[in-house]
């Protein structure tokens, strides 16, 4: 629901060419909730995911969508989960330099979430990064391909030695070979304080903060203004 605010609305963008959009949103959500009720669903979830990388939950730029969900009786579960979405130009990622430790090598393999690049010192794996190309075909075009970081991990006793930066540099080189132009990454509330400074030094910028886990329990009344 990208445009639910109507003219004069304080919760969303003014749309004088589309009057009644708030009422239309409420009608649509009421029908969705009624259908879920007919299915006897005990827990009903709402999400703003679009068929485009990095768009999920309810981004902070969509207060009109959050308000529509709230009027329909949805609310973030508990304290909810707010995630920060980051975006970097692959061309701006660090270049591959000398390994931060003598004998450190990178090995490529299939990972849980995409291609895994591991930092190996002999038989010991000191860390790894996984990147996956989010190929949306015609939506992005040949020059607009995006990937995301599925996992980035360095063993605790080897952190702050440059291994993470070195792995990101190798991931950037690999993505450039695939002609991928941008790279997404994400942090949750439990790791943002540590990860955000690291990501920003690598060229990532904050794209949005998005609220997940909107839920409505069966039998809750629709909330009115």
Q: Is residue 208 packed enough to be buried (19+ CB in 10 Å), middle (13-18) or exposed (0-12)?
A: middle
Per-residue confidence at 78, pLDDT binned at 50, 70, 90? Answer: confident
Nearest one of 193, 204, 141 to 171, comparing CA atoms: 204
What's the mean per-residue pLDDT of the chain? 87
Tens digit of pLDDT for each residue in 171-196? 999 999 999 999 999 999 988 888 99
Tens-digit pLDDT profile for residues 20-52: 888 888 999 999 999 999 999 889 999 999 888
Return the higher-pLDDT residue of 7 and 49: 49
CATH superfamily of 94-202: Gcn5-related N-acetyltransferase (GNAT) (3.40.630.30)
Reported as a single tens digit per residue, the pLDDT across 92-107 is: 999 999 999 999 999 9
Torsion sign across C-alpha atoms 42, 83, 91, 177: negative
Q: pTM of the full predicted structure? A: 0.83
Sequence-ordered strand ranges (E) for the chain: 43-46, 58-59, 75-89, 104-111, 114-121, 124-134, 146-154, 182-187, 205-217
Tell me what percent of the chain is helix, strand and coil, each rounded to the nearest 5: 25, 35, 40
Q: According to CATH, where is 3.40.630.30 located in the chain?
A: 94-202
């Amino acid at each position: 629901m990208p445009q639910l605010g109507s003219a004069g609305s304080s919760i969303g963008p003014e749309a004088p060419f589309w009057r009644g959009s708030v009422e239309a949103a409420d009608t649509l959500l009421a029908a969705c909730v009624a259908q879920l009720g007919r299915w006897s669903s005990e827990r009903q979830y709402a999400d703003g995911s679009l068929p485009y990388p990095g768009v999920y939950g309810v981004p902070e730029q969509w207060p009109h969508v959050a308000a529509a969900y709230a009027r329909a009786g949805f609310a973030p579960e508990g304290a909810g989960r707010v995630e920060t979405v980051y975006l970097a130009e692959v061309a701006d990622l660090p270049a591959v330099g000398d390994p931060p430790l003598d004998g450190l090598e990178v090995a490529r393999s299939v990972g849980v979430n995409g291609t895994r690049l591991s930092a190996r010192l002999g038989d010991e794996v000191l860390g790894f990064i996984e990147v996956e190309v989010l190929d949306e075909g015609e939506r992005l075009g040949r020059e607009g391909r995006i990937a995301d970081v599925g996992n980035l991990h360095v063993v605790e006793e080897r952190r702050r030695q440059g291994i993470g930066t070195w792995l990101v540099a190798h991931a950037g080189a690999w993505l450039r070979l695939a002609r991928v132009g941008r790279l997404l990454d994400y942090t949750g509330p439990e790791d943002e304080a540590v990860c955000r400074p690291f990501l920003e030094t690598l060229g990532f910028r904050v794209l949005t903060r998005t609220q997940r886990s909107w839920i409505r329990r069966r039998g809750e009344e629709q909330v009115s203004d």
